[in-house]
Structure 1
Amino acid sequence: MGALEPNAALERLYRETGWTMRQLAQEINRVGTERGTPLKYQQPSVTQWLNGQLPKESARPVILEAFARRLLRPITHSEAGFPAPRRGSTPQPPTLDGLVDLGRQDMDPSRRGVLGVGLFSVALTIPGWPDAVGRMDAMRTDPKRRVGQAEIQSVKDMTDRLSDLDDDFGGRYARPMAAAFLVNTVAPYLKATASSETRKSMISAASLLCYLTGWMAVDEGAHGRAQEYYVKSLELAGASGDRMTYCHVLRGMSVQAANLGHGAPAVRLANAAAEASPDSGARMRAFMAGQQAHAYALAGEKTNALNSLREAERAVNQAESQGRRFGGFSSATLAYATAEVRHALGDPKGSVESLHDHFRLRDSTDRQRSKLIFSSLLAERQLQIGHLEAACTTWNTILDEYPAIHSGRIDGQVRRIPSLLSPYRSNPLARQIYERSRELSAK
């Protein structure tokens, strides 16, 4: 057996506390006593750990808790240089541990170049609903902290505000804030003492925030990172019994796959979302069927795509005829879904017509980022069918508003403009947009 390597991660945490080794051992013993598992560590044990020897598995959560109290933030196994706990072996489950690690890596915007290298996986394993249920039931709570409805509502309100920032300014702007809120506020709430119902509601709220953070990562082009958030959100949704969020996440994963051109995985995820949905109301049927239609079209399943599109149209008409507030899936959304289906089935002219319908039907609640993304698609497809001046006019509007948006997806769309317009530079309008887009994308 080779010599042990010093535990540099644990050393960093220890130095950050400002404690002596004796003080660290005493605090660990104190936490152990509070938990009903008295410990008798002394300075030599701390020395051994810093030199690379692992503490016994049952003591590791106690050590992490001692650090967390001193440093006023959650501390995970990996941050302390400990291996991930086996499922069921420790009070703190992999779901929460992994959530904190994931969020902490995203809190620093300067690391975007490192974090963006993760690739989308078409073979991603996702937990089925029965497998996801109850994952966090064994979590040990923190007796010094208690949460109730006020804390749950604060997480929901903050998620709404972060979503607004994401929609208005883009994922690159909002994601570090979402990750910091997950790590510094929500993760401690998940460990706090609470009634069973309150705990489930808090885990549900965390699941939705985790999904939103993944959505921001998609916008930034960090697709592997987004999938990590999505899978974590599925686990949290299962732990809280929140089937609605669970199916929303699966649908979001299908949208990601579809936008990247992966038809078969998009179909698999869209169908899984529809099957998991607990709500058979018109709004939800339209929400699910619209995404199924796009996925089927990308996979070349024309009949299924058109059948799903008709189902979405019937559901939209039914919901709007009942006078309900429709929000998430409306006639405008349906027009966009129709545009995507038409384009995937080889009808760019029909796609342009449907995108025009989308913009005609949009209202004041629709967001700036989606407007620019869909406008970019419109311009590219206008050019595809030979409408050069119309495409340039659309792009000119986009470039007027582009500097205020921090979106990786829109960045990519703007960077494509020069190559798309390069063959048309003899046209004065095309040359103007060509030069302007090059200048803006270089900033």
Structure 2
Amino acid sequence: MDPSRRRILQTGLLSAAAVIPGWPDLADRLDRVHADPHARIGMTEVKAVIAMTERISDMDDQFGGRRTRPLAAAFLVNTIAPHLRATATEPVRNAMLSAAADHCYLTGYMAMDEREDGLAQQYYLKALDLAARAGDHLTFCTTLRGMSVQAVDLGHSALATRLADSAAAASPQAGPRMLAFLTGQQAHAAAQTGDRATALLKIKEAERAMEQAESKAKAFGSYDPSSLAYHVGQVRFELGDIAGSVESLQDADRLREPVYRRTRVRYNAMLAERKLRLGRLEEAVIDWGKVLEDYPHVQSGHCDDRLREMLSVLTPHRRTAGAADIYDRGRVLLKT
């Protein structure tokens, strides 16, 4: 990452985190959304928003945030915002607020995927606002966790830990899958700070919780064995076990559903980078070949970053036949 960009984003992230109180404080201080007496909504509109959000999420997994966020933003402005102003019963209003919070969280995630990190923070903060108004602890803590993921990605380890811990505190009665979802991120953040004991403790908690989870959730943001294997790999990497992290990332790839194309690009690239660090160039080239097969179908700032990193680390190996071919293909793709 460009160091100057990182300094700017650090200020934004810290500012965003500074205004996040605990759940009760935020829920108590927010006013109700004012109703528009000229429009009325029911659960049919709520279900439509939920279905549209899930559909956009599926598209995001396949094609990346750059292609799908404009659709999500347009739906937010043209459909969800008028629904939030419409007259509704209390249960319907809260359900719509919750659905809107989910949609804002997803849109923020897509903005982060585009590398529009400041914009992502704005969506995340709005998601917290809406979730608090709805009394939706699940989306509230999911959003805090998403902010922790962003902070980890930007290298703000202490902030990432604070946000991950806040997310866990906001959902004290989480089920086993949600617990794994939260503690896995706590483990990653703790490992990045160098807190080995906490990282290992939290990843063990995540593994136990995943064992207790009954079935794979289908809604966006679900946490499955592939996601857990990824977090195990990240904890191992942050604690200096590169070979162990490769093993875990391979497990994550084996367990991952094929629909998650963007994730496949990012994590296969990460796997290749770590294999190269271990001197396993031929294996890394194979993984990068998989990346280049998927990359043209995805519009993602994070994936662009991984391709740039590939070109950078392969430069000293351009005289090796396989590496040279991957390098040349990657350079062409990045320019198109």
Instruction: Give the TM bin, normalised by the shorter chain.
Output: over 0.9
Distance in 1 (CA, whole Å) between partners of 2:131 and 2:29 is 9
Say which structure, 1 or 2, has more relative contact order (CA 8 Å, 6+ apart): 2
Q: TM-score if structure 2 supplies the norm length? A: 0.92
Distance in 1 (CA, whole Å) between partners of 2:131 and 2:26 is 8
Distance in 1 (CA, whole Å) between partners of 2:61 and 2:148 is 19
Unmatched 5+ stretches in structure 1: 1-116
Distance in 1 (CA, whole Å) between partners of 2:216 and 2:322 is 42
Whether 1:267 aligns to 2:161 is yes
Change over 3 Å in CA distance of 1:118–1:166 after alignment to 2: farther
Residue 215 (structure 2) aligns with = 324
The one-letter code matched in structure 1 to 2:287 is T
1:363 Cα deviation after fit: 3.5
Residue 252 (structure 2) aligns with = 358
Q: Which of 141, 148, 152 is 1:254 aligned to?
A: 148
Whether 1:440 aligns to 2:330 is no
Distance in 1 (CA, whole Å) between partners of 2:28 and 2:48 is 24
Which one has the bigger helix percentage? 2
1:134 Cα deviation after fit: 5.2
Identity over aligned pairs, percent: 49
1:436 Cα deviation after fit: 1.0
Q: Deviations over 1:128-169 (max 9, x none)?
A: 212321565444321110000111111111101111111110
Q: Is the 8 A contact 1:286 1:312 kept in 2?
A: yes
Q: Which of 256, 270, 277 is 1:384 aligned to?
A: 277
Superposed CA RMSD in Å reads 1.8
Distance in 1 (CA, whole Å) between partners of 2:33 and 2:254 is 50
Change over 3 Å in CA distance of 1:144–1:134 after alignment to 2: farther
Change over 3 Å in CA distance of 1:265–1:192 after alignment to 2: same
Q: Deviations over 1:376-415 (max 9, x none)?
A: 1101111111111111111111111211101110011112
1:119 Cα deviation after fit: 2.6
Aligned pairs (5 A) from 1:228-247: 228-247=122-141
Q: TM-score if structure 1 supplies the norm length? A: 0.70
Distance in 2 (CA, whole Å) between partners of 1:186 and 1:135 is 23
Residue 63 (structure 1) aligns with = none
Which 4+ stretches in 1 moved above 6 angstroms? none
Q: Deviations over 1:18-60 (max 9, x none)?
A: xxxxxxxxxxxxxxxxxxxxxxxxxxxxxxxxxxxxxxxxxxx
Whether 1:298 aligns to 2:192 is yes
Q: Which of 159, 171, 174 is 2:68 aligned to?
A: 174
Q: Which of 300, 303, 309 is 1:407 aligned to?
A: 300
Whether 1:422 aligns to 2:312 is no
Q: Is the 8 A contact 2:269 2:310 kept in 1?
A: no
The one-letter code matched in structure 2 to 1:347 is D
Unmatched 5+ stretches in structure 2: 1-6
Distance in 1 (CA, whole Å) between partners of 2:34 and 2:111 is 31
Distance in 1 (CA, whole Å) between partners of 2:172 and 2:57 is 24
1:318 Cα deviation after fit: 2.1
Aligned pairs (5 A) from 1:64-143: 119-120=9-10, 121-123=12-14, 124=16, 125=18, 126-133=20-27, 137-143=31-37
